Amino acid sequence: MQFADFKLLPIRHQARILCEQGVLLCERLEDAYLIALYMVDDFYVEVYYRTQGQEIEKFRSFHSSELLAPYIPAICFEELRA
């Protein structure tokens, strides 16, 4: 899946791609959200869930490794290599 193609998809199709092709890297809490970080091919997707109701609020997809900074302590890189 190409990054540009993913961004053009409707949210429900993006969700399907994450379920089928995404690798869950880790999760974190921020304000009223549980944010799950996925890797899909050569890009990343954050899924923002409302902590009350577990509803998906939004997706944020990106290439930039700078945006991974909040996750670095929690990502288990050894598991990704297996």
Q: Which domains does the chain have, with CATH numbers?
A: 3-81 (3.30.67)
Sheet strand arrangement including 33-40: 23-30, 33-40, 43-50, 56-62
Q: At residue 19, does pLDDT exceed 90?
A: yes
* pTM (predicted TM-score): 0.83
Q: What is the pLDDT of residues 45-54, one digit of tens each?
A: 999 999 887 7
Mean pLDDT over all residues of the chain?
88
80, β-bridge pairs: none
Q: At residue 41, does pLDDT exceed 90?
A: yes
pLDDT (mean) for 20-33: 92
